[in-house]
Amino acid sequence: MLSIMFDVSDERCAQWHVGTVCRVHPKLIPHVCEVEADGDELEFIINNSSGLPSLLPGAYPKYYRVQTWYGDHAKWIVGNLLK
């Protein structure tokens, strides 16, 4: 599961699963403050991105079962990977 947290009071959290449509409205992307991924969603991020901090090629799933990103990195994941 991928959990997406926002810094606005009317929308606090959304979830996304591989193979489903991301229902985060583009206007909310600037309000993304945290993204946490595990399982298939973490594997999807690892396989479809590069340059994100804390990702070591070949490390999943042995060392990192849950990964969290904040700020600009979280916004980048939501804005670019979940199209």
Convert the pLDDT of each residue in 17-69 to its tens digit.
Answer: 998 888 888 889 999 999 999 989 988 888 888 777 765 555 555 556 788 89
The count of other CB atoms within 10 Å of the CB of residue 40 is 13
Number of structural domains (the chain) is 1
- How much is the pLDDT for 55? 59
Domain membership of residue 61 as a residue range: 2-81
pTM of the model: 0.80
Torsion sign, CA atoms 52, 58, 63, 67: positive
Answer whether the bond into residue 53 is a cis peptide, omega within 30°: no
